[in-house]
Structure 1
């Protein structure tokens, strides 16, 4: 279009193997910084107020932390499929995943009403404070929410731009883009299923697992593994094995997150304690606890954990946490996490990846879930 400056891919220095998954997770920070620098320069040519107040804050969120697990799993999938040599496309795919994660975090915090993210005010809170400090008219809360939705949309646009640029320059770009397209839809479907379950006040175990699979397992592990493998030209057998491994490991990751959401230390999680209990998220932990309470005829616990219980006060959150402990649901969830991590490693072995890559996958799963697959110890 006339007058529109061309969007040029950010220059990225060639990075060659050998990189381990932790190396890749660290290296993607440099790539992400280069990509965001290019996007912010473009944003400033579009509008300085938009760039300063929205785009800059979004870039700070994307750059400012996180475990970079999705990048690490993408690199692991690439190596499992025989990838070697230049890792630039893998790291650019990882950077796109980090931008998509920024979109998910911003929108998730808006939907949940979370006030903190990574130990700092959530983006919608920052924007609301900006409104208040500037003495602007209207509701600061409404302004912050609306502006944060736009920030999440911008993160998604940046992620799509980067992935598309990468796919266009990759030998197996169409397969890479197919995985990306499927992942985006799954992520939105998972968010909607969670929203629907909260509004309908339902809390079944099967529903909780369906939400966890769509919202987290596929998006966090299964699709990143497949994205990396696609760049290496993986065949259907390897891709199927990686998706199955990722589904199991991703579910274990989400179940660990459920436990942290209920019992975690805010200093470690970066979020207020008991946020999941306060919002009555339809987690697997909550569903299992309710099923155990019903089976035991413990009506007091069932009432404290019911989706329609009033969780507004700190005391209500404390009572819900105590009720969870009383059911023994924690132990069952821990056992499920261990079972899923072992299953994930079994599926990963079907790729035929060499021992070093299998060890790398096991270490990543341990980092994500807190449990290293037992079978990993048997690999020579």
Structure 2
């Protein structure tokens, strides 16, 4: 693809081959996100510096709390949601529109994502995120080291909930910085609010599934994937970008973006299901096998139960929280033996095919089409 640049406005896009030893899929993803990640991170850093200073003025302790929230936002990540929002916008406006006026809107999605991650880690009792202790784990450790009164675990969870809440408020505040006409900003806000509602709905279904895994199903696991992940990872960010560009909700492009976004978003979650069992912790930043330890009813594990023989199903049902690495490795092999892994891989492939077919129907900027085509594969065939 040819280089594309409008100095100070849109992003340069110049994919190159992977470096020696580099994940080729990661290289594709980086090719379409590198400049955007830098722009989003710069926007977030500048915004958060002011916010942290403001909270520090309330009380010295608030400075540390605000810094914890800031560090959670800036701790890395692929910036997938701003990326899809950018290309959704770029698909409409082409390469001539300036980026800086709308960049705060795209960066706000990363604050929303941090809110979801921090709360999700509390609900899942996750110890690590991106290779580092989760917020509630780190805060519990600090509480214990300081010798403070009360239960360190409860303190850590309480602080994490507040960190997530603060990121949600920060997302609202940063979104308001986007230089858009008032009527369009209201439309953007409606799209953003729908994204938040669907994220909460998906998260609730996820929690419900863990409490009633024996009565869950593949269809319901896919519904969780649709609302917990597809909606706010790909579909809604794409629609959000189109809305920032001023596209009407009934435009044909909205239908194409919706179809593409649901397919890629579900494939993204299905890949996460596989990484949750078979991923390399050095790449994912999280221990492998957590879903097996908790019996989380992902589509992968629901399919394994559906496809298993009676003996295999009994073995899967005997899994208990706290199982050792050897038992987890045995269960992972058992899941693969049922054929569930192959089935999920086919489901991912089918969804990518569906997404690309949807993209073929869209009348969009050709650079954006190329980027979204590459991202459909890069986001769903990854190591982390």
TM-score (norm 1): 0.88
Q: 2:82: which partner in 1?
A: 71
- Cα deviation for residue 349 of structure 1 reads 2.4
Structure 1: runs of 5 or more not aligned? 1-13, 372-380
Q: 1:228: which partner in 2?
A: 241
Q: 2:105: which partner in 1?
A: 93
1:191 aligned to 2:206? no
Question: In structure 1, how many angstroms separate the alpha carbons of the residues matched to 2:179 and 2:97?
Answer: 18
Change (3 A) 1:78 1:19: farther
1:109 aligned to 2:121? yes
Q: Do the aligned residues in 1 keep the contact of 2:101 with 2:180 (CA within 8 Å)?
A: no
CA RMSD, 1 decimal: 1.8
1:126 aligned to 2:138? yes
Question: In structure 1, how many angstroms separate the alpha carbons of the residues matched to 2:244 and 2:75?
Answer: 27
Q: Do the aligned residues in 2 keep the contact of 1:167 with 1:177 (CA within 8 Å)?
A: no
Size of the alignment, in residue pairs?
Answer: 352
Q: Do the aligned residues in 1 keep the contact of 2:230 with 2:266 (CA within 8 Å)?
A: yes
Question: In structure 2, how many angstroms separate the alpha carbons of the residues matched to 1:19 and 1:367?
Answer: 18
- Describe the SS at the equivalent of 2:363: coil
Higher mean alpha-carbon deviation, 269-278 vs 216-225, is at 269-278
Change (3 A) 1:72 1:127: same
Question: In structure 1, how many angstroms separate the alpha carbons of the residues matched to 2:314 and 2:187?
Answer: 49
Match of 1:210 among 217, 220, 223: 223
- Cα deviation for residue 161 of structure 1 reads 1.5
Question: In structure 2, how many angstroms separate the alpha carbons of the residues matched to 1:131 and 1:16?
Answer: 46
- Cα deviation for residue 210 of structure 1 reads 0.3
Q: 1:8: which partner in 2?
A: none
Q: Do the aligned residues in 2 keep the contact of 1:90 with 1:228 (CA within 8 Å)?
A: no
* 1:205-354 map, 5 Å: 205-235=218-248, 236-293=251-308, 298-306=309-317, 309-314=319-324, 315-354=326-365
Following TM superposition, the consecutive aligned residue runs of length 4 or more in structure 1 with deviations greater than 6 angstroms are none
Question: In structure 2, how many angstroms separate the alpha carbons of the residues matched to 1:91 and 1:115?
Answer: 32
Question: In structure 2, how many angstroms separate the alpha carbons of the residues matched to 1:274 and 1:227?
Answer: 34
Higher mean alpha-carbon deviation, 115-124 vs 228-237, is at 228-237
TM-score (norm 2): 0.87
